[in-house]
Amino acid sequence: MLNHSESGEIRILAIESSCDETAAAVVVNGRDVRSNIISSQIDIHTLYGGVVPEIASRKHIEKINPVITEALKQADMTLQDMDAIAVTYGPGLVGSLLVGVSAAKAVAFAANKPLLGIHHIEGHISANYIENKDLEPPFVCLVVSGGHSHLVIVKDYGDYEIIGRTRDDAAGEAFDKVARAIGLGYPGGPKIDKAAREGDPESIHFPRAKVAGSDYDFSFSGLKSAVLNYLNSCNMQNIPVNPNDVAASFQKAVVDVLTEHAMIAIEQTGMKKFAIAGGVASNSALRESLEKACAERGVAFYRPSPILCTDNAAMIGAAAYYEYLAGNFSGYDLNAVPNLKLGDR
Ligand code: KG4
Ligand code: ZN
């Protein structure tokens, strides 16, 4: 069944639909992105202040075929040129995941190509390989998305050790909830990032939570409550709130904690390479802070371009290449696994 292209290239059609982006990409040899099509549903979900799962699934169904067709077209290739079809099968919203998984299975079966089920977070981490052709494991990676906040040691391709995780809210979730509370709306992360540029990060002191017994674990729910308490107390005392100052001070608290924990991980593991991944990794203040902290320690800092930090299929194609090399193929009975853990297959 393995039908490498004559050029020796391994060409993968990758599909991603775990949340509210319908995406497909063609990636050659894991790092050469020939197309990266993303159809975002942000406009629809903005009306409701967050992702509505039922609407997300329906939109994925509408968009999945056009997005796959466009990805092949922009890559100037056909389905028959592909060596494998890869798809995110978890974690994520089950109805959303199922659309991508069903489409990938249908395409793989019809074209008689192998199928690769890919972990969404493995995809986020692998986004770093695309623009950094020299990056190889081992390295430390901070994964910060809407659903995850992990400090991971990437020991090898496909071999991960999670050394820190959030005890409550994910970093992106905290951004989204605080944005809603200060009236910035959805999606919160980019709006706070923008508002914070006009605010003073030192104007309000919000707590930097420590988790007892762990240098690496995160907790963001206390910070979120502190912001809500601040807003309530201003409201009760008729003190005007400056949303830009709240955004900047909140963002600084998140960035300080993420930077501090990441640097402890670097110091304690002795690793000289550090990468970031996930939607929150596109945050400008976080990127600046980590860049500076890494430079001070002589550690190489890797970060994907913002478009490769948020959900996309190119990152799934990058991860899939290494799973392909390892022979980790999926059966046509592949199912969506909404709470899939990193390292599970
Ligand atoms: O990785 P992602 O696209 O989807 C998940 O896998 O969850 O991450 C989405 C999260 C959202 O919470 C969004 O608010 C956050 O990433 N985000 C940001 C920024 N851009 C997206 N957070 C902070 N600053 C940003 N610039
Ligand atoms: Zn994601």
Length of the chain: 345
| Neighbour order of strands in the sheet with 300-302 | 159-165, 149-156, 139-144, 273-277, 300-302
pTM higher than the cut 0.85: yes
The CATH architecture of the domain made up of 4-126+309-326 is 2-Layer Sandwich (3.30)
Q: Report the alpha-carbon distance of residue 227 to residue 245 in Å, rounded.
A: 11
Residue whose CA lies nearest to ligand 1 atom number 18: 189
Ligand 1 atom closest to Cα of residue 171: 12
Question: What pLDDT, on a 0 to 100 scale, did the predictor assign at position 4?
Answer: 64
Question: What pLDDT, on a 0 to 100 scale, did the predictor assign at position 1?
Answer: 45
> What tokens were used for 224?
């979120």
> Ligand 1: which of 150, 175, 252 to mutate, judged by most atoms within 8 Å of the beta carbon?
175
Question: What pLDDT, on a 0 to 100 scale, did the predictor assign at position 25?
Answer: 98
According to DSSP, residue 83 is labeled: S
Domain 136-304: top CATH class: alpha beta
> Ligand 1: which of 310, 315, 316, 342 to mutate, judged by most atoms within 8 Å of the beta carbon?
310
Question: What pLDDT, on a 0 to 100 scale, did the predictor assign at position 6?
Answer: 66
Contacts of 225 (CB under 8 A, 6+ apart): none
| Ligand 1 site residues, Cβ closer than 6 angstroms | 19, 145-147, 172, 175-176, 187-190, 193, 278-280, 282-283, 310-311
Q: Which ligand is nearest to the CA of 172?
A: 1
* pLDDT < 50: residue spans in the chain: 1-2
Question: What pLDDT, on a 0 to 100 scale, did the predictor assign at position 146?
Answer: 92
Ligand 1 atom closest to Cα of residue 176: 14
Q: Pairing state of beta strands 149-156 and 84-90? A: unpaired
> Ligand 1: which of 145, 224, 250, 315 to mutate, judged by most atoms within 8 Å of the beta carbon?
145
Domain with CATH 3.30.420.40 in the chain: 4-126+309-326, 136-304
Q: Report the alpha-carbon distance of residue 49 to residue 207 in Å, rounded.
A: 26
DSSP 262-310: HHHHHHHHT-SEEEEESGGGG-HHHHHHHHHHHHHHT-EEE---HHHHS
Distance 91 CA to ligand 2 centre (A): 9
Residue whose CA lies nearest to ligand 1 atom number 10: 146
Neighbours of ion ligand 2 (CB under 5 A): 145, 311
- Dihedral sign for Cα atoms in the order 218, 222, 227, 228: positive
Question: What pLDDT, on a 0 to 100 scale, did the predictor assign at position 46?
Answer: 87
Instruction: Give the tens place of pLDDT for each residue, 251-291.
Output: 999 999 999 999 999 999 999 999 999 999 999 999 999 99
